[in-house]
Structure 1
Amino acid sequence: MNAKGQDARRYRIGVDIGGTFTDLVMFDTEARMLVNEKVPTTPDDPSRGVLNGIGLLLQKSGVRAADVDAVIHGTTLVANALIERKGVRTALVTSEGFRDVLQIGREWRYDIYDIGLQPVDSLIERSARFEVRERMGPEGETLAALDERQMEAVAQQLAAGDYEAVAVCFLHAYRFPAHEQRAKAILEKHLPHTTVCISSEVMPELGEYERSATAVCNAYVQPLFRKYIAGLIEGMRGMGIERELFLMQSDGGTVHYTTAMQYPIRLVQSGPAGGVQATALIGRLAGAADVLCFDMGGTTAKACLIEGGEPAVTTDFEVARQARFKKGSGIPLKVPAVDMIEIGSGGGSIARINQMGLIQVGPDSSSAVPGPACYGLGGEDGTVTDADLVLGYLDAKAFLGGDMALDEPAARQALAAGIGKPLGLDDVEAAFGIHETVNETMAQAASIHALEKGRKASDYAMVPIGGAGPVHACHVALKLGIRRVICPLGAGVASAFGFLASPMSFQFVRAEITPLARLEAARVHALVEALEAQGRAMFDAAGMGALKVLVKVSAAMRYVGQGYEVQVPLDDHRTAQGMGARLAQAFENAYRQLYGRTEQGAPLEIVSWRVVVMSETPDITPAAVANLDAGGSALKGRRPVYSVTGRRFVDTPVYDRYRLGTDTDIQGPAIVEERESTVVVPEGARVSVDRWRNLIVDLPLLAGH
């Protein structure tokens, strides 16, 4: 993270808090070597697990805390607080007549056939929503000045109400924030110890409901997040780490902790975003620019299409869905996030029989405590991990490199009680039913995700990450017709690795509806220059002012009259000539890719501008090997492993991942084990190792694909 000329230190640490484990990766910038660690997550105080993991990583590596250059962190704290409704007591101040925006929402039914459908619950009860007289018009005209006397009265009510945070969202403040800014000043005068968030600072986007929800969510979690970060920094300083803490955002960029504390809502998807960044790098190293990221951890599984080495970023995201996989059942957030989709359950997801008498996996998880039944920590419900153990995919004595023994009898008992006995199956059949249910669900969801983008999953290579990803990857890939699976070393801690591979960046948004025919290139240039200056100021404040700064500009565009936009990149904002024509052509290309057609002659308009101010991507490419021979035989032994195609146990060779050289040529079936994950290679597949130590699995083409 240091710019040239600063006192460079050798080690950079990435930390990702998951639902079950906290993953850590340390990169030696001189030796180009990676060291991994994995410790149980501590749900009561996540920072305790982070500090324990960093301490263990440094101790095992013999590295001094003073030699750490930076810590880059991703956390589920924000998402969990929203999902579990465990934020602080928050109020909303809004324009007169708009008190019920959060309840009215979009007036959509996310499931039109569910007569018992429950609307999305607001984070703020109606009694905590306050109105004030003010009104700005859509063109900036003051229709009603802010009633400061009424605003003062509301502030006094809030001061007496024991609120820890207040969100402010006024009509048209995304373009004209003066009333919000004045309201913030009044609130801070009366509530000096209360968090105040205004929508024009959090995310100045068009859409009253989405902007209100985003501002409220930011306020709802900000005091918790600030307390967490303050404690983590104090702990790091106590260990002797003197350098700064950086946080991973949902769009794949990192920011200084001071910026993260202002906009914690931008970190809601930080862990998965790190995994996507890692996958993009791994794909490029392996010579595959178009890859499908398959991220399966302890709680969920996610998928993301990466084209040309770059993941797409969206600004329409939902959190805390009441109905899993159903768009519209969650809280909408207008924050930039890597465009990925939740496609299934994780290793700790609980398997049960549903109302139709079928196996259902998730959405609830055994988490880190008590964990799957095989952890021996008191869990009594069968999970995906229990099923994988019974099927022979996992070794009870080799889990986490032998640091954590698994209880196979407990797993069998849990599967028999929850699945086997109700369905008349033995424990192996119950385990296979769970495994197949999870794989089929994930394959279908990933296929639909690709089709919605006008793509076929079979045209991509798959890169599995997460602790459970490599276990299920080949079986899911076979269902999708994918021919190549690229399994990186340390897949179980890939998200933490991805944090280290992410540039420092921040995305600015300015909503401004403009017909393309009336586009003024000079105005665009001035807007971009102003936002770039803000970004540079953020770099300076973080002590990163000497870094080279890159700027990416895009416009959210649509046909006039449409309700949805398409993100269109602007190749060069400094070149005024032909700017409108270039944007029109880029829009048509993007629109045709999504929908297969365009509306010839229909007028276009720009809804908002996005400016990303970013550093160059850090070079954390590990040292390549020309001809790796780790020494000794890689074959560890053999064990019975359940064959998905043969529906029987097959005597299968088990290999030590760390002893596989670049001359590797293995015919499936096979099991390849490393500390953080296990690769299950099906029958008919061939395995090789590239110079970056990626395991390349070439799969047979099944009938029907």
Structure 2
Amino acid sequence: MNAGDSSVSGDGRYRVGIDIGGTFTDLVLIDDETGERAVGKVLTSQEDPSEAVEEGLLGLLDHEGVAAKVVRTIVHGTTLVTNALIERRGVETALLTTEGFRDAVAIGTEHRYDMYDIFIEKPEPLVPRSLRYGVRERVLDDGSVARELDEEQVRSIVAELRERRVRAVAVSFLHSFRNPAHERRVAEILAEEAPEITVSLSSEVAPEIREYERTSTTIANVYVRPLVEGYLLSLEQRLRRLGFGGSLYIMLSNGGTASVETACRFPVRLLESGPAAGALAAAFYGRAADFLEVLSFDMGGTTAKACLIEGGEPLTSSEFEAARVYRFKKGSGLPVKISVIEMIEIGAGGGSIAAIGPLGLPKVGPRSAGSAPGPACYGQGGVEPTVTDADLVLGYLDPDFFLGGRMRLDRGAAVRAIEERIARPLGLDPVEAAWGIHQVVNENMANAARVHAIERGKDPRAHPLFAFGGAGPVHAYRVARSLSVPGFIVPLGAGATSALGFLCAPLSFDFVRSLYGRLDDLDWAAANGALGEMEERGRDLLRASGVQEADIRVRRLCDMRYVGQGHEVTVDLPDGTLGSEDTDQITALYRKEYRRLYSREGPDVPIESITWRLEVSAPPPEIRLGDDAGGAEDPDEARKGEREIYLPEENGFALVPVYDRYLLGPGAVLGGPAVVEERESTVILGPEGRAEIDATRNLIVRWSA
């Protein structure tokens, strides 16, 4: 790839996706004129992730001969919000809520996520009780004002907040989603009296019914907002210094992208920013290869993520939990009302640390060695054994070709770490211990993926695995066999596929407004007004980002339920102005979706609407696959040598062929066992695997027996 004359013409033909992981920062550069792609990978800088972004971008652009000024767009995802909530590294935050309700965030819903745990541990609110203030005001559920806002009390509270050096304030009053006037007035007073304090209003962050969830979301948003603003502004400055003059967009949890300004204002929407890109990439490749139903499997250096792709699109949800006390126990985290791609994430990556558990058995994760010190084999001072160390001992990784040879691995250090911490205490040799680590992490990931699919009423055995990430292709064969899926797919450039996912994402925004009532007695004028207002706001945002009016897509939805139920079902709404004449059609749509979800008819009772949702988006960016077609159909021409790898079927090591992934062209077929290497990842093909390269250079593995 070379910019040629474009390095001085500024035609902006290049786009870059940047994925910051716990261990590595991945970058993908794509040329929109030719469809060519180039990837980069550097260790993540833990103190300031933007340093790794700058280092990686400089290296990638320099290697490809591309000037920063001809990069049109950079799309970036970050785990900053998630990590800040888990580690409680946000700023000192206060809560202003309706008098008498300051303890609602501590009481929650009184739901016990484990009925039989008498020592149950609930997540602590991000705001301590001493910083939760009750304000004299009251708005009723129809939006009428029962008690005017006591502005003098608010000013007194603000003075106290300044004395206590509070940096952020969440404002969440009862029923503010119906009438936000009091919240807005508090924001005005804060701007007058304490302009240095960052403010978030629940009527802007999450204007939905359910006070606890709405307040929790607003607190989380403002708690991390100064951190995100500082990071993104620093990143922008670094990019400008490099000569980048294009647009920087940030990935949202729902798979869309937004401007830096929007991301700074609503950082809670970035919670699943990084993982969402991987799901988008899996959906994109699946559609291109005519696999519309796949199980996305993204295993990087720190975590592994699984996500169901159906009809060529990842599943989404309007609810999420952050900072769970117990990773797999729903209800043990802080509720956040945002649109998010549904996935399951576990602490099982290449850097996940192996140890002996309390029962005397090996366990892997969730602790990770990260990028510093990293696995023992990195030679950076790490002494605890990790999954990467085990894979190296088993022969699955070439110590001289890690990251294409840019980083040499120390096999001796990996053996010592496994021997001292795992093998010797268990009376095993290092290879047996390494295989145990490898299998434990495989089963952990397979179990998580199985649970994720079954909880959504899906049979995981019907979905081929789509494996990517630096460690995903190494483990895909055993995970796929454990899940009994029909095979697995590995894209070209699998180690940086998540970064490509950022470039698949369209500009999009979603809005929500709670307006409840029975369908047979609904205020349709109010419902149409809410939908119209949300649509106009969305169109304004997209037009401001340069999207043409004719290209804007709108999707309208409503959360509905049978009267008396406690949970809703989301249904797509018909186009146009809605009215009482649409009641039968909307009812039929609801009943159809209810049957699809629960495989039975619902009760013969009226239906009520709860929350109205609207999504606006631009067309997804075009990415061409196959333009970099090359390689040979004869796999022998791609054979680069042989290597011994551990095969349990052989009860030891066996000599297998090693292939250069870049030299395998469409139509090439190879049988297992074998190793297929590229710079950022390695595919391990077991004895019962048969691999074929398709027209878009995906490696598709099916079972030969």
- Pick the TM interval, shorter chain: over 0.9
Match of 2:50 in 1: 47
Residue 676, structure 1, aligned to residue 675, structure 2: no
**What is the one-letter code of the residue matched to 2:668?**
T
**2:255·2:340 contact (CA, 8 Å) conserved in 1?**
yes
Map Cα deviations across residues 64-96 of structure 1 (whole Å, 9 max, x no partner): 111110111101111111111111111111111
Match of 1:429 in 2: 432
In the TM superposition, what are the counterparts of 1:423-502 in structure 2 within 5 Å? 423-502=426-505
Match of 2:698 in 1: 694
Map Cα deviations across residues 339-396 of structure 1 (whole Å, 9 max, x no partner): 1112451111111111122221111111111111111111111111111111111111
**2:629·2:697 contact (CA, 8 Å) conserved in 1?**
no
**What is the one-letter code of the residue matched to 1:269?**
E
In the alignment of these two chains, the number of paired residues is 696
Q: Distance in 1 between matches of 2:531 and 2:174?
A: 24
Deviation at 1:7, TM superposition (A): 8.3
Match of 1:125 in 2: 128
**What is the one-letter code of the residue matched to 1:499?**
F
Deviation at 1:213, TM superposition (A): 1.0
Map Cα deviations across residues 309-341 of structure 1 (whole Å, 9 max, x no partner): 111211111111121211111111111110111
Deviation at 1:8, TM superposition (A): 5.1
Deviation at 1:657, TM superposition (A): 0.3
Change in CA separation of 1:475 and 1:181 when aligned onto 2, cut-off 3 Å: same
Residue 558, structure 1, aligned to residue 555, structure 2: no
Residue 667, structure 1, aligned to residue 668, structure 2: no
Q: Distance in 1 between matches of 2:215 and 2:322?
A: 14
Match of 2:297, SS? strand
Match of 1:403 in 2: 406
In the TM superposition, what are the counterparts of 1:115-514 in structure 2 within 5 Å? 115-343=118-346, 345-514=348-517
Residue 538, structure 1, aligned to residue 541, structure 2: yes
**2:547·2:618 contact (CA, 8 Å) conserved in 1?**
no
Q: Distance in 2 between matches of 1:140 and 1:211?
A: 17
**2:144·2:179 contact (CA, 8 Å) conserved in 1?**
no
Change in CA separation of 1:50 and 1:547 when aligned onto 2, cut-off 3 Å: farther
TM-score (normalizing by structure 2) = 0.96
Map Cα deviations across residues 607-646 of structure 1 (whole Å, 9 max, x no partner): 1011001001111123447775399821111111112444
Map Cα deviations across residues 218-246 of structure 1 (whole Å, 9 max, x no partner): 11111111111111111111111111210
Match of 1:643 in 2: 647
Residue 9, structure 1, aligned to residue 12, structure 2: yes
**2:626·2:695 contact (CA, 8 Å) conserved in 1?**
no
Deviation at 1:584, TM superposition (A): 2.3
Change in CA separation of 1:626 and 1:433 when aligned onto 2, cut-off 3 Å: closer
Map Cα deviations across residues 449-478 of structure 1 (whole Å, 9 max, x no partner): 111211101111211121111111121111
Listed as ranges, the gaps of 5+ residues in structure 1 are: 1-5
**1:373·1:380 contact (CA, 8 Å) conserved in 2?**
yes
**1:205·1:511 contact (CA, 8 Å) conserved in 2?**
yes
Q: Distance in 2 between matches of 1:60 and 1:424?
A: 48
Q: Distance in 1 between matches of 2:682 and 2:423?
A: 26
Match of 2:4 in 1: none
Q: Percent identity?
A: 48
Deviation at 1:590, TM superposition (A): 2.5
Match of 1:298, SS? coil
Deviation at 1:104, TM superposition (A): 1.1
Map Cα deviations across residues 103-156 of structure 1 (whole Å, 9 max, x no partner): 112223323333333221221111111111111111112121111111111111
**What is the one-letter code of the residue matched to 1:698?**
R
Q: Distance in 2 between matches of 1:552 and 1:645?
A: 52
Match of 1:619, SS? coil
Map Cα deviations across residues 264-312 of structure 1 (whole Å, 9 max, x no partner): 1101101110011110010011111111111111111111111111112
**1:344·1:442 contact (CA, 8 Å) conserved in 2?**
no
Deviation at 1:508, TM superposition (A): 0.2
Q: Distance in 1 between matches of 2:566 and 2:425?
A: 49
The range that moved more, 580-589 or 35-44, is 580-589
**1:380·1:414 contact (CA, 8 Å) conserved in 2?**
yes
Deviation at 1:525, TM superposition (A): 3.5
Match of 1:247, SS? strand
Residue 84, structure 1, aligned to residue 82, structure 2: no
Q: Distance in 2 between matches of 1:60 and 1:627?
A: 21
Q: Distance in 2 between matches of 1:149 and 1:539?
A: 40
Change in CA separation of 1:621 and 1:521 when aligned onto 2, cut-off 3 Å: farther
TM-score (normalizing by structure 1) = 0.96
The range that moved more, 276-285 or 625-634, is 625-634
User: What is the RMSD of the two structures over their aligned residues, measured on CA atoms?
Assistant: 1.8
**1:319·1:333 contact (CA, 8 Å) conserved in 2?**
yes
Match of 2:186, SS? helix
In the TM superposition, what are the counterparts of 1:30-109 in structure 2 within 5 Å? 30-109=33-112
Q: Distance in 1 between matches of 2:520 and 2:287?
A: 40
Deviation at 1:546, TM superposition (A): 5.7
In the TM superposition, what are the counterparts of 1:509-588 in structure 2 within 5 Å? 509-519=512-522, 523-544=526-547, 548-574=551-577, 579-588=582-591
Residue 656, structure 1, aligned to residue 675, structure 2: no
Match of 2:6 in 1: none
**2:50·2:235 contact (CA, 8 Å) conserved in 1?**
yes
Listed as ranges, the gaps of 5+ residues in structure 2 are: 1-8
**What is the one-letter code of the residue matched to 1:637?**
G
**2:10·2:70 contact (CA, 8 Å) conserved in 1?**
no
Deviation at 1:587, TM superposition (A): 2.3
**1:653·1:671 contact (CA, 8 Å) conserved in 2?**
yes
Q: Distance in 2 between matches of 1:363 and 1:109?
A: 24
Match of 1:345, SS? coil
Change in CA separation of 1:628 and 1:401 when aligned onto 2, cut-off 3 Å: closer
Deviation at 1:566, TM superposition (A): 1.6
